[in-house]
């Protein structure tokens, strides 16, 4: 007995020391929790020492033992309360005040069940310890309450702790064993049972050691589970089942319920009711927070995160609501012009800053009933309930506001905006008076998009209101694009050739081939309609390859028949910058046995204006194959004289705008015919650079006389004939060898398909030598002859007023 007492005391002392040491290595919430545990362990150790000292004096009478048992019971109760408080103060055990209260009520309900079961087992008529069981020491009841509370609270905490929870469970068991052991010491003193007191002391020491070791190595346990839906109510059933079973057993043993039992049952009931009320209150709060978050996330789902405007989904929701309510609405579609260059040149961070500023400017211009939205990328929209005139004024205001400079740290950004306007009640638009369903939302969106697209096509930085013509144009465009993809395979394409004449004899020495398309249902589709579509949809390379092949094939036939002609083929920028184009030209010449100098490739002056160095490399590679290079539409673009000298070209084709001057100029101080001064200047420039010059767009005898007077040796235009089939041009070539020269016919009507004969000259042109300074940089001038050239026109054009590439033809 002495050994057990000594070992118990030493164990309790060592455990208290471990707890004291752990306090020195902790901070914050852990330090506060460990201080409470140290205080509880100290009180428990002193109570154990007191109890063991009292056990050693067995000669004392009952009153004295009851006094010492009361002291020990009070000390153990205080120790239990301090231990439970330290456990609840451990970081991660209690997440919130309401969670702490629910955890405490769970512990109270389990403790009441433990206490009630203990009362049944140790009171009459059951008396688990027999006749020795009696309530001689009423103060021990305080220790029993502390033991029950510690057992219930620690059981709940250990059960709810997240895995791994071995160390936290060890701390809970240590606190429970300490209090239960102290209760055994107090009970042994009160009953005069030394073995019970020594057993309780050993249990108390083991509990303190368990708590000390657990605290010394405990890591943060993590948030204790408080799932209100799945696990939060199951603990109410266990104590209720235990109490019901013990009460039934007590009644079966003819037992009676006194005030203590009724008190325990009442505490259990009130604890459970309070616990469930708190759970219901938390569930209501939880549901309210869920509703708030749902509303928040729903709003986020309809909001663009970059600009704070409504996104496409938010716009669709507002538009559907307005349509369903039959409200007058106008939709403005906006697209930033050139925004892609901002991302490419300044970076996406600057682009995002510009988009955010666009959002701020849209909000600044919006009215109380307007809804600005970002549809994606650089596309925006504004939904307004204003009338048509007010909506137009809003569109103009947005055009001005969004067109102002966007100040950025590395310099301002300048953009313009295109605006398309569509509203319900527009002509041929969404109906205004009839019942409107969801399809009208899509109709309104499509109308705004069509108006926006038309604003883009009309030059950007403008406002366009929807018109039904746009939809017909789009439908036509879609059909043409679809049918164009199979036009080559169906054999619907053909080449028409426009003569190139020698001047002044107007003898045909070549022809310009023009691409034509006749569809069985669409009829004749103009090149000004399908060529831009081919460039956009990526079919221009296939069309160019077909034209090159057909032009070389026809040229080979003419050469085989003895005609002294050349053919020129216009090259689109996409073809010119393709790596495989040089090989494609060489292969076409080889396949049809055409001498390379008979083929002339034309590039427009507008193509020269972009990336001159790359263009020079491409043209140089093409000239190495032996073909000639012509600069088309000279005078209509922006190429400088410096670029003209650098470019590896052989022929200048003077644009019609220089040929069709209002009044020819008469020579000053000398006799001679009137001439075109701009043509004269270009002629002199071309001859100085060793280039041959062709005047395009000659449409009248007056213009013919002017270009001849300026010294131009080749001409092309309606005066010499429109584009005709190959066999008609061949008839002209045959006539040129057998018919003497006659005056050129007038360009009345449209003889595009007539093939009327043209007066001929007697000899083909010969090149003029270039100055020696230029000749050293170019090939032999004898190879510079635009021998017998005809040009294949890839780009469309039906009016002389249209500019850009060969489009004017």
* DSSP code for 596: G
For the stretch 202-249, pLDDT in tens is 888 888 888 888 776 655 444 444 444 445 556 666 777 777 778 887
Query: Which pLDDT band holds residue 672 (cuts at 50, 70, 90)?
Result: low
Q: Which residues contact 779 (CB under 8 A, 6 or more apart)?
A: 623
Model confidence over 781-808: pLDDT tens digits?
333 333 333 333 333 332 333 233 333 3
Q: Estimate the crossing angle of helix 29-56 against helix 194-217, to 10 degrees.
A: 160
Mean pLDDT of 614-621: 88
Question: Does residue 750 carry a pLDDT above 50?
Answer: no
Q: Return the top range by mean pLDDT from 179-188, 226-235, 426-435, 479-488.
A: 479-488
**pLDDT over 90 (residue 120):** no
The answer to whether the pTM exceeds 0.75 is: no
The answer, yes or no, to whether residue 436 has pLDDT greater than 50, is: no
Of the listed ranges 420-424, 584-588, 802-806, the least confidently predicted one is 802-806
Least confident of 137-146, 599-608, 623-632, 700-709: 137-146
What's the CA gap between 600 and 719, in Å, rounded?
Answer: 22
The predicted pLDDT at position 766 comes to 37
Contact 694, 715 (CB under 8 A): yes
- 439-472: pLDDT as tens digits: 678 888 889 999 999 899 888 999 999 988 888 8
Q: Residue 277, Cα to own-chain centre: how many angstroms?
A: 47
Tell me: the pLDDT tens digits for 498-517?
Answer: 889 998 888 888 888 889 99
pLDDT at 547: 94
* Whether pLDDT at 428 is above 50: no
pLDDT of residue 63: 65
* pLDDT score recorded for residue 90: 74
**pLDDT score for 380:** 94
- DSSP result, 14-48: HHHHHHHHHHHT--THHHHHHHHHHHHHHHHHHHH
Average pLDDT over all residues of the chain = 77
Confidence of residue 772 (pLDDT cuts 50, 70, 90): very low
Q: Distance of CA 125 to CAs 189, 257, 486, 635, Å?
A: 23, 11, 105, 123
């Amino acid at each position: 007995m002495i050994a057990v007492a000594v070992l118990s005391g030493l164990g309790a002392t060592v455990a208290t020391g471990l707890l004291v040491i752990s306090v020195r290595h902790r901070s914050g919430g852990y330090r506060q929790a460990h201080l409470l545990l140290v205080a509880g362990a100290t009180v428990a150790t002193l109570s154990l020492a007191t109890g063991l000292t009292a056990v050693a004096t067995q000669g004392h009478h009952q009153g004295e033992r009851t006094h010492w048992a009361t002291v020990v019971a009070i000390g153990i109760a205080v120790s239990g309360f301090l231990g439970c408080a330290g456990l609840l103060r451990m970081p991660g055990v209690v997440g919130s005040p309401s969670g702490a209260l629910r955890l405490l009520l769970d512990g109270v309900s389990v403790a009441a069940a433990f206490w009630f079961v203990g009362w049944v087992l140790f009171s009459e008529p059951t008396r688990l310890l027999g006749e020795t069981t009696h309530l001689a020491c009423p103060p021990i009841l305080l220790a029993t309450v502390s033991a029950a509370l510690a057992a219930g609270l620690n059981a709940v905490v250990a059960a709810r702790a997240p895995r791994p929870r071995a160390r936290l469970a060890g701390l809970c068991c240590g606190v429970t064993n300490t209090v239960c052991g102290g209760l055994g010491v107090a009970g042994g003193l009160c009953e005069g049972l030394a073995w019970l007191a020594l057993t309780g002391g050993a249990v108390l020491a083991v509990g303190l050691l368990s708590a000390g070791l657990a605290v010394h190595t405990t890591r943060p346990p993590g948030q204790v589970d408080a799932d209100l839906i799945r696990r939060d109510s199951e603990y109410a059933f266990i104590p209720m089942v235990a109490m019901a079973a013990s009460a039934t057993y007590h009644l079966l043993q003819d037992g009676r319920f006194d005030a203590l039992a009724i008190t325990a049952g009442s505490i259990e009931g009130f604890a459970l009711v309070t616990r469930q009320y708190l759970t219901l209150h938390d569930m209501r709060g939880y549901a309210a927070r869920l509703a708030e978050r749902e509303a928040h996330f729903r709003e986020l789902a309809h909001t663009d995160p970059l600009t704070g405007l409504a996104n496409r989904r938010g716009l669709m929701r507002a538009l559907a609501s307005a349509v369903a309510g039959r409200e007058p609405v106008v939709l403005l579609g906006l697209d930033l012009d050139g925004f892609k260059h901002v991302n490419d040149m300044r970076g996406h961070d600057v682009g995002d800053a510009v988009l955010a500023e666009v959002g701020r400017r849209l909000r600044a211009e919006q009215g109380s009933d307007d809804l600005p939205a970002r549809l994606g990328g650089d596309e925006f929209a504004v939904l307004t309930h204003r009338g048509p005139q007010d909506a137009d004024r809003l569109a103009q205001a947005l055009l001005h506001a969004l067109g102002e400079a966007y100040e950025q740290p590395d310099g301002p950004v300048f953009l313009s905006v295109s605006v398309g306007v569509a509203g319900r009640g527009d002509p041929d638009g969404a109906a205004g008076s009839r019942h409107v369903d969801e399809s009208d939302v899509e109709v309104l969106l499509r109308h705004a998009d069509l108006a926006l697209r038309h604003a883009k096509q009309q030059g950007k930085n403008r406002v366009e209101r929807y018109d039904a013509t746009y939809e017909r144009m789009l439908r036509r465009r879609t059909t043409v694009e679809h049918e164009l993809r199979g036009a080559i395979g169906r054999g619907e394409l053909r080449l028409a050739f426009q003569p190139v004449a020698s001047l002044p004899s107007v003898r045909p020495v070549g022809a310009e081939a023009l691409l034509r398309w006749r569809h069985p249902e669409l009829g004749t589709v103009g090149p000004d309609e399908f060529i831009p579509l081919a460039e956009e949809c990526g079919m221009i390379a296939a069309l160019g390859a077909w034209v090159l092949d057909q032009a070389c094939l026809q040229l080979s036939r003419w050469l085989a028949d003895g005609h002294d002609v050349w053919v020129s083929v216009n090259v689109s920028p996409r073809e010119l910058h393709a790596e495989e184009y040089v090989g494609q030209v060489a292969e076409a010449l080889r396949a049809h046995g055409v001498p390379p100098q008979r083929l002339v490739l034309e590039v427009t002056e507008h193509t020269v204006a972009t990336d001159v160095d790359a263009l020079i490399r491409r043209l140089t590679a093409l000239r190495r194959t032996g073909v000639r290079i012509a600069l088309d539409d000279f005078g209509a673009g922006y190429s400088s004289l410096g670029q003209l000298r650098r470019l590896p070209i052989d022929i200048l084709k003077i644009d019609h705008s220089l040929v069709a001057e209002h009044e020819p100029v008469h020579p000053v101080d000398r006799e001679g015919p009137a001439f075109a001064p701009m043509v004269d200047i270009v002629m002199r420039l071309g001859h100085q650079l060793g280039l041959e010059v062709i005047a395009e767009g000659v449409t009248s005898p007056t213009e013919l006389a002017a270009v001849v007077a300026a010294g131009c040796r080749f001409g092309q235009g309606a005066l010499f004939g429109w584009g005709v089939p190959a066999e008609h041009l061949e008839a002209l070539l045959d006539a040129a060898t057998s018919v003497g020269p006659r005056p050129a016919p007038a360009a009345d009507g449209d003889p595009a398909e007539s093939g009327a004969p043209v007066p001929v000259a007697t000899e083909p042109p010969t090149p003029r030598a270039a100055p020696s300074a230029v000749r050293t940089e170019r090939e032999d001038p004898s190879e510079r002859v635009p021998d017998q050239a005809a040009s294949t026109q890839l780009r469309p054009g039906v009016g002389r007023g249209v500019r850009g590439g060969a489009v004017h033809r």
